[in-house]
Structure 1
Amino acid sequence: MAWRSGLAYPQDLRERVLAAVDAGLAVRKVASLFKVSISYTYKALERRAATDDVAPQHGAGSRPPKPAGHEAA
């Protein structure tokens, strides 16, 4: 199954990626192993360091509502 652009990674994948880095694997190796980008791995590490949170942000993968009167567009 191919990953769909714009959707958040599942929580278990996030935890496995960070656990692999914590276990001592290089970021590039982890990214290749789990088929995520290197930048995602660094961003996840930075976010965990800043907020101690690894859950996806609310609204990830959804579109903002259209302004009133433009629903048909």
Structure 2
Amino acid sequence: MRYLHNPDHYPDIEAIQNFLGDISSGGGFECLSTAIYKKVYKVDLPSKIEKMIDDGVFEHPLYPSYYKENE
């Protein structure tokens, strides 16, 4: 998934869309979706870690600069 590290890989939005594809194209989106929802999601985490996730411990306290809080 080292695609976006090099601006030459995405000269336009079509190049990014082609790379990402969709859920059944074999592209980046399908790869990430499979990894997250079919592999990692099924991992049994220790209850302490589950509680930390539920409590938002791993969430950054500040919104990213591009986030518009009121929208």
TM-score, with length taken from structure 1: 0.22
TM-score, normalised relative to structure 2: 0.23
- State which structure, 1 or 2, has the greater radius of gyration over its C-alpha atoms: 2
